[in-house]
Structure 1
Amino acid sequence: MKTIGISRQALVAALFGAAAVGTMAVAPKVFSPEAGAQPITVQAPHNAPLSFADLIEQVEPAVVSVNVTTEREVGRLRDMDQFFEQFRGMPGFDEFLEQRRQEQEDQQDEPEVQEGRSLGSGFFISQDGYIVTNNHVVDGAKEIQVVLKDGRELDAELVGTDKQTDLAVLRVTEKGEYPFVHFGSAETMRKGDWVVALGNPFGLGGTATAGILSADGREIGPDSPYTDFLQIDASINRGNSGGPTFDLDGNVIGVNTAIFSPTGGSVGIGFAIPAELADEITQAIIKDGKVSRGWLGVSIQDLTEDMAEAQGIKNAEGAIIADVTNGSPAEKGGLERGDIILSVNDKKVTDATSTTRVVGSLIANTSNKFEIIRGGKPKTLKVTVGERPEDPYARTVPASSSAPADKPEKGTTVKDVGATFEQMDDELRSRLGLRSGESGLVVTHVDKGGVMDKAGLAEGMVILEVNNKPAASVDDFRKAIADARKSDRTKVLIAIRVGQITNYRTIDLSDAS
């Protein structure tokens, strides 16, 4: 690069010459910072690499492309579903479609089988050939092949999957010693740390991209209730699913699984399953071929500020148990309706979602420590969680819901809250799926604009508890209200049964006339 210079003598002459011919003018300062003020300065990250080549060269042999062959049954009409979609809603169309389907069934034709192919990524986690990938990559697979960096194509068998976390484990059928990587810790990563993703985008194979950890703890939909995803901006595209994301030490800190994109291509928002969760799930799959999730058998809600205030609790964090299933692990472990779960195995929970995730991550048939609040006082319980059933919400009693609509109004009126109640009988108790002898007050009338009306209560609902005490009688209800007022509380917590679902609400005594 050419540099323009000036001699020392010329510089001195220019300065003194200017002083000799006249007064030297000095331009005034337009801006003068306050004394001692310093601008924001940022040092370049000391660990920013000049190149990722050494890292990629070492870990790439453990990364594979996953090629999957699937088969699915199709009918002549099913193949035209996309074409028929434009006619949905037209008069008589649904009847026409159903008639055609019935005609096909009557013909008893053998269903046609259509072959499909899908591509993904994966990586070895053991020398003897275990591979981690995504469940959606191998879903419905008839044949699975993996392609190594050196071009070898190896058959692989499915060891097991976990749909809830979208993880799967394969194992190559050819015995040998394979290069492998291991899981690190996503919890030690900070927003802004470098990450490198490897995979098979669009079937191109052996592709590396780099970026940073953009965020953690992301929720990306109801289909992944047990996962707080890592968000990364290293380019993730179709075919990257199941591939690893590395830290700069070559540890797998995430399994690439999804992208957010309006176009279908990378826009810099990718999601990876954290290493700690992926390691735990894959080890369970290798051991048992499946994941047995912990199950308590409770219905829970977020603890709101009003609920906390009604019980004199300052911190509105945790989950309140709205219902406990008969014979469930929760019941056997001593958990009760109205208990507020604060932590599980010393891991703090903040709401119903975090509680569900923590409990779901527990291993079935293990004993776990639950820190709760019951009646305003802290309590510790040891609860052995069970294995989550196929349908944890299945009921063993009829699902008939509310009291008959034509039932005449009767009972005792509590003017303060603008409602009339009567005690629950055995017939209604049975229809609501409640335990024998459980007490409650049936709401038979609600004044429009009254306290109960504003709280969303209606005829046919049943109040089971008031401020964590059974609502055995109207006198009990009145006493709970009086006690709240003596304690200068304006909120009262009530447990409501609607059909076979129990939930908590608060009534505001400041609305009372």
Structure 2
Amino acid sequence: MNRIQKIGASVLYALVLFVPAAWAQSLPDFTGLVADVSPAVVNVSATRTAETMMRNGANAPQLDDDDIPEIFRRYFGQPGAPVQPRDSTSLGTGFIISADGYVLTNHHVIDGADEVVLRLADRRELDAEVVGSDPATDIALLKIEATGLPVVKIGDSDALQPGQWVVAIGSPFGFDHSVTAGVVSATGRPSMDQSQQYVPFIQTDVAINRGNSGGPLLNTAGEVVGINSQIFSNTGGFMGVSFAIPVETAMNSVKQLKSKGYVSRGLLGVRIQDLTRDLARSLGLPRTGGALVFALEPGGAAEKAGVKVRDVILAFDGTELARSSQLPPLVGATEPGSRATLTVYRDGKELQIPVTVGEAERDSSGPAAPANADAAAGNALGIVVEDIAPAQREALGLDDEQGVVIARVVGAPGRRAGLSAGDIVLMVGKTAVATAAQFNAAVKGATPGEPVMLLVRSGQQTQFVAVMPDADD
């Protein structure tokens, strides 16, 4: 090996030693953060008595004779006897937000509990009163009789960015004050549970398991930026996708629970969906952002303001919408009765529509088989529709002005659009259709390569669907 080769080898060896060391030095050290915050984190134990569970419909199960081996029949009673229900206890986490004993956790941790006990970091166990809870944001406010308690610092969840380090402290499977860390994967995620549409969830890869619920999600400054609430899992265990409620959302609920015992939130009275490329094209919209209105609540704030079906809400009070799921949290956080401005796209124009925000309420079956009628012929959309009998129309809550049922999907356009037999078509473009003849007349002029917008009710869901006719249909 010549001198140059020796020098190169020495440099390479030094880099091999230096780079991992440099990487290690750049990683955050959470020991100080954990020491500061842990005293304000509590274990939550919520007990539901057997009597309460029976009163709420949790009937004792019956056992068949074949289910009980002989040895169990001898020692544990005869078959057919009811199994006596037992008290049930669920575990979760919470954190102290004021020195006089207010504690924040998840609604689902204490829901239906007869007794809630908090175990503090100093091992004291204190009974907690449920001041109030809000299922829509999964927030519960508790109160214990104590003073001089350690408290967490509240941070700014709006400032979170994907890639930012975050830390969780909780009690997974009852292991108190367990610490896990990861990064923010995304912000503003919609919930898969429609009852929590008002929460723009923080997605992280922090390990969260049963018992972590209600615990704090912290930034590197040791400030609470979220409340750990959900995981996405095929197994029931952690799989790298966890969700936390932004602390801004939680503290808004806390303020109202303290002042009036419940949470009120704004309501527009619209049903909305995302825009696909084909839907945007059919509306003449140059992009797919915004929230497409497919239904209006009669007498609701939006209808009173002049919003129409097929409008695309591009912004709420100056905040642009990239996805329809962004609208409910914005409206929900708006005080009922206040004024806001909707930026709406309609017929090629942007409109500014002032609206007085309504108030959401505090805390059906799908379509039946189509009525017997003469089936309409297939059309450019590849579907066959039929009229709906009057009795069936009444059962489905349809007026006489709209609604035909899809009897069969016979062509590729309908199948590509996800249409199915039993779906109800309410409108073709801007035209309401109430008979098969009206439907076929409305789609007769469909142009190959130009999407046709249908308003479709499938089960309990109603939304616009863009169907692209084939050139040879």
Shorter chain as denominator, the TM-score bin is 0.7 to 0.9
TM-fit CA distance, 1:363: 4.1
Shift of the 415–56 alpha-carbon distance from structure 1 to 2, 3 Å rule, reads closer
How far did 1:276 drift? 2.0
Kindly tell me: are residues 417 and 133 of structure 1, through their superposed partners in 2, closer, same or farther at Cα, counting changes over 3 Å?
Answer: closer
Of 242, 251, 266, the match for 2:223: 251
Give the aligned residue type for 2:471.
D
58, 61, 73: which is aligned to 2:36? 58
Equivalents in 2 of 1:270, 1:500: separation in Å? Answer: 28
Q: Measured at CA, do residues 25 and 283 of structure 1 come closer, stay the same or move farther in structure 2, by a change above 3 Å?
A: closer
Match of 1:182? 153
Q: Could you say which structure has the larger radius of gyration?
A: 1
Moved more, 290-299 or 323-332: 290-299
Q: Secondary structure at the match of 1:511?
A: coil
Query: What is the aligned length?
Result: 444
Q: 2:183: which partner in 1?
A: 213
Q: Return closer, same or farther for 1:172/1:390 CA change in 2, 3 Å cut-off.
A: closer
Gaps of 5+ in 1: 1-23, 32-38, 88-99, 105-110
Counterpart of 2:102?
A: 130
Give CA deviations for 1:405-441 in whole Å, capped at 9, x if unaligned: 1x3469xx99877999999999998776566xx8558
Change (3 A) 1:427 1:365: farther
Displacement of 1:305 in angstroms is 1.3
The whole-number CA distance in structure 1 between the counterparts of 2:354 and 2:132 is: 31
Identify which of 239, 245, 250 aligns with 2:211.
239
The secondary structure found in structure 2 opposite 1:114 is coil
Matched, 1:493 2:464: no
Distance 1:453 1:270 in 2: 34
| Cα offsets for 1:133-159 (capped at 9, x unmatched) | 112221222222223333333322001
Partners of 2:452 and 2:251 lie apart in 1 by 45
- 1:146 and 1:432 map into 2 onto residues whose CA distance is 49
User: 2: distance between equivalents of 1:126 and 1:274?
Assistant: 18
Of 231-240 and 423-432, deviating more is 423-432
SS at match of 1:123: strand
Change (3 A) 1:351 1:173: same
Secondary structure in 2 matching 1:307 = helix
- Give the Cα–Cα distance (whole angstroms) in 1 for the partners of residues 426 and 233 of structure 2: 47
Question: 1:465-505: CA deviations, max 9, x gaps?
Answer: 43x356799899979976x86xx972232435679975433
Instruction: Work out whether 1:276 is the aligned partner of 2:236.
Output: no
1:451: Cα distance to partner?
7.2
Over residues 81-122 of structure 1, what are the superposed CA-to-partner deviations in whole Å (9 max), with x where a residue is unaligned? Answer: 7x67x97xxxxxxxxxxxx79xx8xxxxxx966323333221
Conserved 8 A contact 2:166-2:219: yes
Q: Which has the larger displacement, 330-339 or 376-385?
A: 376-385
The aligned residue for residue 47 of structure 2 is 69
Alignment of 1:453-464 (within 5 A): 456=419, 464=427
Residue 169 of structure 1: how far off its partner (Å): 0.5
For residues 208 and 498 of structure 1, the distance between their equivalents in structure 2, rounded to whole angstroms, comes to 45
For 1:241, give the aligned amino acid.
Answer: S
1:355-414 CA deviation, whole Å, 9 max, x = no partner?
4444444444443322221122111222333333479xx79xxx9878741x3469xx99
Partner of 1:107: none
Q: Does 1:143 align with 2:106?
A: no
| Counterpart residue type for residue 313 of structure 2 | I
Q: Secondary structure at the match of 2:36?
A: helix
SS at match of 2:169: strand
Instruction: Check conservation: 1:451, 1:512, Cα contact below 8 A.
Output: no
Q: 1:379-394 counterparts in 2 under 5 A?
A: 379-389=351-361
Alignment of 1:346 with 2:327, yes or no, is no
TM-score scaled by length of structure 1: 0.68
Distance 1:505 1:268 in 2: 33
2:124 — aligned with what? 152
Per the alignment, residue 16 of structure 1 pairs with none
Contact 2:291 2:312 in 1 (8 A): yes
Paired residue for 1:92?
none
1:285 touches 1:291 (CA, 8 Å); kept in 2?
A: yes
1:229 aligns with 2:201: yes
Identity %: 33
Change (3 A) 1:209 1:469: same
Q: Matched residues in 1 for 2:111 and 2:420: separation? A: 46
- CA drift at 1:132: 0.2
Q: 1:340 to 1:265 in 2, by over 3 A?
A: closer
Paired residue type of 1:117? T
Q: Distance in 2 between matches of 1:277 and 1:444?
A: 42
Q: 1:199 maps to which residue?
A: 170
Cα contact 1:319–1:349 (8 A) shared by 2: yes
Q: Displacement of 1:171 after TM fit?
A: 1.0
Amino acid paired to 2:168: A
The normalised TM-score by structure 2 is: 0.73
Change (3 A) 1:314 1:173: same
SS at structure 1 position matched to 2:259: helix
Work out the CA distance in 2 between the residues paired with 1:139 and 1:232.
25
Q: Which moved further from structure 2: 176-185 or 438-447? A: 438-447
Q: Deviations over 1:253-298 (max 9, x none)?
A: 1212344567766666544322222222222322332223433333
- Residue 108 of structure 1: aligned partner: none
Distance 1:114 1:508, change over 3 A: closer
Could you list the per-position Cα deviations for residues 228-267 of structure 1 after superposition, in whole angstroms to 9, with x for gaps in the alignment? 4334455544433222122222210121234456776666
